[in-house]
Structure 1
Amino acid sequence: MRVSIIGCGTMGITYAKNLASMEEADLAGVCDIDAARAEEAAKAGGTRAYSDYKAMLEMENPDVVCVCLPTYLHKRTVIELARLGKHIICEKPIGLTLEEADAMIEACRENGVRLFVGHVVRFFPNYADAAGQIARGETGGPGVAHLKRYGSYPQGNGQWYHDRNKSGGVIMDLMIHDIDFVRSVYGEADTVYAAKAQSGGEDPFEYAMVTIRFLNGAIANLTAYWGYPGPFTTEAEFAGSQGVLRLGSESSRSLIVTSKEKGPEGKAAVQVPQSPMRHDPYYRELKHFLDCIRDGSEPLVTAEDARAALEIALAAERSCQTGQPVAIGGKRA
C-alpha cells in the first residue's frame, strides 16, 4: 500500500520512520513547504522529498495520505484528498470546530474513502491493558479517574501552537489524548467543568484542569500542562468499587536514560512519548489503520470518536470562559 505524508514536523518524521520499517507500506514521498524538513523526513524514511504536495500526489499516486499538518489546515487538506479518492490518516485533533469535523467526515463518506484520526494513546500497551481490565470489571463499578499529561511548551517549528486560532491550545492539542481515552473507557460524557491558567513572555506556560462527568456516573479529572520543566510525563489512576489501577510514563519504561538534549535547534517543537518496545505505539496505530483499509474492518478509533473528543474539548474551553459547567449534546448542565 503506497503511503505519502504531508507535513514533516515532529509527527511527520515519526510517521516516516515507522512507515519505512513496515512491510505493509511503501513510503511514497513526503512533503513540506520547508525543504530542509522535507529532506530530513525523506532521509529518515528512505523516500523522496517534495515541497508541493500536489506534485507529490501526481508523481507518487499514493493509496493513503497521512496529514501531519497544523490543526487549522486539516479541514481543507482532508476534503481535497477525499475528493481525489485518497484514504486519509489525520493527526489529532480532527479539527478546531465540530463544523470542520462534520465536513471532513461527510466528504470522506461521499467519496468512499476512509478517515482515521491519530489518537495514539489507545495504542500504548499500558493504556490498552488498563482499558481491558476496566471493561472486564476488574476495578468494579464506575468510579473516579485522574489523568495528567505534562510536556514542554511548544517551540522552534511549533510556533503555530501559540495561536489559539490555529492549535486550540493545551486542552485541544494535548489533553485531548486523555479526553479520548477516558471516553473510550467510560462512554458518553454528560457535563464538563474546566479552569485554566496561562502566561506568555519569556517563560510561557498553559495549564488546564478539566472534570468530566459521564452518563454512567463516573468522574474523570484531567490536567494538562505546556511548560513543564521536566521530561514528558503522563500518569493515570482509575478507582472503582473493587480496586484501583495506576499507570504512568515512568513505571512503563523498562530502561530509563537521562541526558541533555542535543541538536542544532535544541528541543523538538513538541515532545513525543517514548516507548521501550521494538515497535512504538505510532507503528501499531499506523499498521492498524492500514489493516482496516485493506480488510474493511472498523478501527479502534473512529472519526466519530475523534469528533466526540473534540466536542468535550470545546465544552471545556467554554467552561473556562464562563466559569460554569457545560452540558454535552445540548442537555442542560
Structure 2
Amino acid sequence: MSLTVAVIGAGIIAVEHLDALKGMEELQAIAVADIDEAKAEKISEDYQVKGYSDYRKMIESESPDIVVITLPHFLHKEAAVFAASKGCHILLEKPMALTITECDEIIGAAEKNRICLMVGHIQHYFQENIIAREQIESGELGELIMINETRHMNYFTSGRPQWFLEAEKSGGGIVMNIGAHCIDKTQWLMGSRYAKVLSKLTYRGEVEGFSPDVEGSGLLYLETIDQIPVTISLSGYEGVPKHVTELIFTNGMMKVEVGKGVWISEGDAYQLVHYPKGSSPFKKQFAELTAAINRKEVIRNSGEYARSIIEVIEACYRSNKEGKIIELKDASLQRRSDPLF
C-alpha cells in the first residue's frame, strides 16, 4: 500500500515535490493546503488532489502518512510541531527553522511522537554533487586542501515574496536562504562539520516601494573540525549569475556547476567528466524518506544534521556583528562513518 502525502504550501517548491511524486509506486499525493485559496484550488486541479485553505483541517481530515512543509521560514516550526503531534512523518523544506532553538523544538516533537523527520537539503541529491563526493572519496586527486564556493544572483527582484526580505519572517537574506545551500553542500561534500566561522555581510538591497532589512551579500570563511578551509562568496546584487564550486586537492582541481557539469583538471586545463544523468533530486529525496519509514533506513538529512546548518548561519550573523571568528560549540567529531554524512 502506498504512503499518502499531503503538501502544505502551494508555491514553486510545492510543485517540484508534486511533480516528483508522479510515478512513485510507494507514494501517493492526496492533498494540498494554502492560505491562498486560489493557489490551493489551482494545484488541486492540476494534480488531482484535494485542496484546503487550512493545513490543520487538511491533516485532521486526511490523516496523511507524510506531510511536506513548503511554507515561509517563520511558519516552519509551528507547522512541523503540529504535523508531528498528529503522527505524520515530515519532509520540511530548508532552512529548517529561524533559530537552533526552534530546530530543537521540532526535533523534540519528532522524537516524542516517533515520526521520521527529513529536512530538504536537496543539494545531496544533485548528480553533479554526488559525482564530486565520490571523487573526493576516491582519493584520485590526492588530499582535499580547500573549497571555494561562489553564488551570485539578483536576490532583490520584484517577483520575490516580501517575507523573504523581512528578517523577522525569513531569518535573514541571501545567507539564510541561498547560503544554507552552500553551507550544506560544502559540509556534506567533505563529511566534516564546520567548527569556525568568520563573515562580512552587506545590507544594501533595494526593492521598489519597500526597504529590505536583510543582507544582500556575504563573504564567509569557514573551517571544519578537520581544519579544511572553505570560502563562500554570496552576492544578491545585479550582475552576471554564477554558481560554481571549486575544490583544490594536492594533485589537481575539480569544478562543479549543478545542472551543468563536473570538470577535473588535466595539466593546466579542465576536462569535462562524463556521467549518467540520474533521476530527479526530489525523487531521490522522497525515496530516502520512504526507505526510512518502511525499512527503518537512516535519514541523512535528519533534524540533527539540518540543525548544524542553522548553527553555522547563526554564527555568520554573530561574526559579522561582533567582527570576530565564532567557534561553534556544538561541532562534534562527525566523520563520514557517521550516518549524518
Shorter-chain TM-score above 0.5: yes
Q: Distance in 1 between matches of 2:7 and 2:259?
A: 31
* Equivalent AA in structure 2 for residue 327 of structure 1: E
Equivalent residues in 2 for 1:39-188 (5 A)? 39-153=41-155, 155-156=158-159, 158-168=161-171, 169-186=173-190, 187-188=192-193
**Alpha-carbon shift at residue 107 of structure 1 (Å):** 0.9
How far residue 228 of structure 1 moved from its aligned partner, in angstroms, is 4.5
Separation in 2, partners of 1:166, 1:294: 35
1:193 to 167, 183, 198: 198
Q: Does 1:291 align with 2:298?
A: no
Alpha-carbon contact 1:180-1:305 (below 8 Å) kept: no
2:260 maps to which of 251, 254, 261: 251
Amino acid at match of 1:217: Q
Native 8 Å contact 1:189 1:215 kept in 2: yes
> By how many angstroms is 1:230 displaced?
4.8
Structure 1: where are the runs of 5+ without partners?
254-275
Contact kept, 8 Å, 1:3 with 1:63, in 2: the verdict is yes
- Superposed CA deviations along residues 51-110 of structure 1, whole A, max 9, x for unmatched, are 111221233221000010111111111111111111000000111111111111011001
Change (3 A) 1:228 1:14: farther
| Percent identity over paired residues | 28
| Pairing partner for 2:225 from 208, 215, 223 | 215
Gaps of 5+ in 2: 263-275, 332-341
Offset at residue 35 of structure 1 (A): 1.4
Structure 1 window deviating more from structure 2 (191-200 vs 204-213): it is: 204-213
Look up the match of 2:13: 11
Superposition deviation, residue 147 in structure 1: 1.0
Pair 1:94–1:278, CA change in 2 (3 A):
same
How far residue 278 of structure 1 moved from its aligned partner, in angstroms, is: 7.5
1:274-327 superposed Cα distances (whole Å, 9 cap, x missing partner): xx9574212221222222212110023222110111111111111111221111
Change in Cα spacing, 1:48 to 1:299, as seen in structure 2 (3 Å) is: same
| Matching residue of 1:270 | none
**How far 1:207 moved relative to its partner?**
1.2
Letter of the structure 1 residue corresponding to residue 223 of structure 2: R
Distance 1:155 1:116, change over 3 A: farther
TM-score w.r.t. the length of structure 2 is 0.84
Alpha-carbon RMSD: 2.2
The alignment covers a number of residue pairs equal to 308
Report the secondary structure of 2:247's partner residue: strand
- Counterpart position of 2:269: none
CA 1:139 to 1:44, structure 2 compared with 1: closer, same or farther past 3 Å? farther
